[in-house]
Structure 1
Amino acid sequence: MKRNTDFMLRDIAGEVILVPTGAATQQFNGMITLNEVAAFIWKNLDESKSKEELVDKIMDEFEVDEETARTDVEGFVGALYEHGLVLDE
């Protein structure tokens, strides 16, 4: 999995936001506000070889159990795929 480079992560007034650029502005109207875990997932998508690796990274970074980390990864990455923000390599 790989981030769609038509979306940029920005910190605007203390909020972490994904903003569409380029061709994505034609398909996606708006911005996505991310919480701390979602921003962490986004930042680590390109380096992670699998969802399992993301789960491990979340457990290392945050004080959460495996089930919580897995739920966060499955839910957020699934939504990213659904909306074209993540692509298969």
Structure 2
Amino acid sequence: MRTKTGFVLKDVCGEKIVVAEGRENIDFTKIISMNDSAAYLWEKVQNMDFDVETLKTLLCDEYDVDEATALADSKTIANQWLEAGIIK
């Protein structure tokens, strides 16, 4: 997987969201809100190929979480990002 070009993480009024950059990409139905751990992962995987194992490792390295929970969360996040169309 890889993040799609043109999507950036912004902090808007204390909420972390991923938005499309550029006038042609304006579609306010495509704003993706992220919690702190999802935003952390988004920042870490920019410009690199990754999979759910990569996400799991990043979560385990940063947070006090067991591998099974981190893997389940990584699968959920990856699926949400795929459904939102912000990764390929």
Q: Which residue of 2 aligns with 1:64?
A: 65
Structure 2 unpaired stretches of 5+? none
Aligned residues: 86
Q: Please say if residues 30 and 84 of structure 2, whose CA atoms lie closer than 8 Å, have aligned partners that are also in contact.
A: no
Indicate the RMSD between aligned Cα atoms, in angstroms: 1.9
Q: Which residue of 2 aligns with 1:5?
A: 5
Query: What does 1:1-89 align with in structure 2 at a 5 Å threshold?
Result: 1-22=1-22, 23-25=24-26, 29-46=29-46, 47=48, 49-87=50-88
Q: Please say if residues 2 and 50 of structure 2, whose CA atoms lie closer than 8 Å, have aligned partners that are also in contact.
A: no
Provide the C-alpha distance between the structure 1 equivalents of 2:50 and 2:84, rounded to a whole number of angstroms: 20
Corresponding letter in the other structure for 2:78: V
Alignment TM-score, normalising by the size of structure 1: 0.80
Q: Greater strand percent: which structure?
A: 1
Runs of 4+ with deviation above 6 angstroms: none
Alignment TM-score, normalising by the size of structure 2: 0.81
How far the C-alpha of 1:48 sits from its partner, in A, is: 5.1
More deviation, 70-79/46-55? 46-55
Identity of paired residues, percent?
33
SS of equivalent to 1:3: coil
